[in-house]
Amino acid sequence: MPGPWRYCPVCSMPLTTKMEGGRDRVACSDDSCGFMHFGNFSIGCAGVVIRDNKALIIQRGIEPFRGSWQIPGGYAEADEPILEAVEREVREESGVIAKVRDVVGFRHSVGGSIGGPATNIYLVFRLDYVSGEPSDADSEVMGAGFFSLEEMEDIPGVQGLSKWAIQKALAVEEFGPGLAPDRLGGPVRPGFSVFGLGGNAFTEEA
């Protein structure tokens, strides 16, 4: 791997570089192994939960950006379906139970541009409120509550991406659904999470 990695994580042979896809990539020197490093990537997810025309936001209790306010979210584990990840993050950070309805947007950031080493894709979901009251019981959270966009103007440190996501989620009510989990027509395979316009747009076998 780049940096301190010198040996293949699969077979322990020395690493070298090989041309693949138009660029040199870190790879195992043993052709029979086949290991090649395509980069460091992470998947983030966050949830916009609307109740009575107010959105759920939490105040970060840890760095980076300690003290700022944002929609609840975090990282999806490598073996965790994305729907479960965002519902878990909302529950853990705010105490609110909510269920995914659709995707309202996403952000892609190239490695290092948001302070971390990995290239990241950050999916923003709209969730339907089910139960629970906002709580700051989580050790990573200093505050939590439902606020209107107007009220957020008087709260210092509300992150711009969160405001954008909330605006998108509220606009979806007027202009129609976003990308929804395709539970009926999508290809069903272990580990798949398929989304489509209208929720059932993808019917072709993969």
Same domain for 102 and 31, yes or no, is: no
More confident residue, 2 or 49: 49
Average pLDDT over residues 81-102: 95
pLDDT for 200 beyond 70: no
pLDDT for 169 beyond 50: yes
- Could you read off the pLDDT of 17-56 as tens digits, one per residue? 999 888 899 999 999 999 999 888 889 999 999 999 999 9
pLDDT of residue 21: 86
Same domain for 59 and 149, yes or no, is: yes
Same domain for 122 and 95, yes or no, is: yes
pLDDT of residue 180: 76
Same domain for 132 and 194, yes or no, is: no
Same domain for 6 and 58, yes or no, is: no
For 148, other C-beta atoms within 10 Å of its C-beta total 13
Same domain for 105 and 66, yes or no, is: yes
When divided into structural domains, the chain yields a total of 3
Same domain for 11 and 62, yes or no, is: no
Structure tokens that stand for 69 in this block: 């306010």
Average pLDDT over residues 194-205: 54
**Residue 91: domain span:** 41-173
- Could you read off the pLDDT of 175-193 as tens digits, one per residue? 456 677 776 555 667 777 7
Same domain for 85 and 21, yes or no, is: no
Same domain for 137 and 169, yes or no, is: yes
Determine the Cα–Cα distance for residues 196 and 191; give it in Å rounded to an integer: 17
Structure tokens that stand for 53 in this block: 């025309």
Range of weakest confidence among 22-26, 41-45, 107-111, 129-133: 107-111
Same domain for 89 and 11, yes or no, is: no
Cβ contacts of residue 74 below 8 Å, gap of 6+?
44, 45, 46, 85, 89, 92, 93
pLDDT for 203 beyond 80: no
Same domain for 99 and 23, yes or no, is: no
CATH number of the domain at 77, please.
3.90.79.10
Same domain for 14 and 46, yes or no, is: no
92-117 burial, b if ≥16 CB within 10 A, otherwise e?
ebbbbebebbbbbbbeebeeeeeeee
pLDDT for 202 beyond 70: no
